[in-house]
Structure 1
Amino acid sequence: MILETALLTVRPGQGPAFERAMTEAQPLIAATPGFLGLELRPCLEAPDRYLLLVRWERLEDHTEGFRGSDRYARWKSLLHHFYDPFPVVEHYGESMVSIPAPCG
């Protein structure tokens, strides 16, 4: 499993519009073979910042499958105008360390 990460900073005051656009865009990415799930988390300290986490079976499912699809053009038109600055997208491999919470 590959974890795609992006720290998304949206233009000031555009958070609610960005969240609506992300809701509309979600089916576009979800239709991609190899897509395993998506989380969008708001930053508690910065109201215009979000953490995007996307799980993929393989790196190529994102870099070639989704980004090479017609759906990606629509994704870009819905979301990319919100970002300032444009986010850095990175991909991470399997967890090297995993510590469960203590029981009880």
Structure 2
Amino acid sequence: MILEIATLTIKKGLSSDFEKSFQEAQKIISSMKGYISHELKKCIEKNDKYILLVNWETVEDHEIGFRKSEEYQEWKKLLHHFYEPFPIVEHYK
């Protein structure tokens, strides 16, 4: 199992809108091949900061299966306009 950790900084004042969009987006990621589970955690000290933790069977399930899919295009439309700067994403085993 691989853990993807994405540090998400949301544009100031848009956290509530981001959380609503994420409710829809999580349906996309949870339907993907190799997906195991995910959690979105909001930072206590910084109101517009989150971490997204996603467990995948393999790195390829995330990097190729998800990111190169049609479903990822919908994920991008729902979420990417909230980020500033673009998230740092790392994988752990």
Into which bin does the TM-score normalised by the smaller protein fall? over 0.9
Percentage identity across aligned positions?
A: 53
User: Which runs of structure 2 are paired with 1:86-101 in the superposition (5 Å)?
Assistant: 86-93=86-93
User: Which runs of structure 2 are paired with 1:1-104 in the superposition (5 Å)?
Assistant: 1-93=1-93
Query: After TM superposition, what 4+ stretches of structure 1 lie above 6 angstroms from structure 2?
Result: none
State the distance in 2 between where 1:63 and 1:86 align: 16
1:45-99 CA deviation, whole Å, 9 max, x = no partner? 0000001100000111001111111000000010000000111111111xxxxxx
Which consecutive residues of structure 1, in runs of 5 or more, have no partner in the other structure?
A: 94-104
State the distance in 2 between where 1:15 and 1:5 align: 19
Aligned residues: 93
SS in structure 1 of the partner of residue 62 of structure 2: helix
Which consecutive residues of structure 2, in runs of 5 or more, have no partner in the other structure?
A: none
Amino acid at match of 1:67: R
RMSD (CA atoms): 0.5
Task: Say which one has the larger Rg.
Answer: 1
| TM norm structure 1 | 0.88
| TM norm structure 2 | 0.98
Higher strand content, 1 or 2 = 2
State the distance in 1 between where 2:44 and 2:74 align: 29
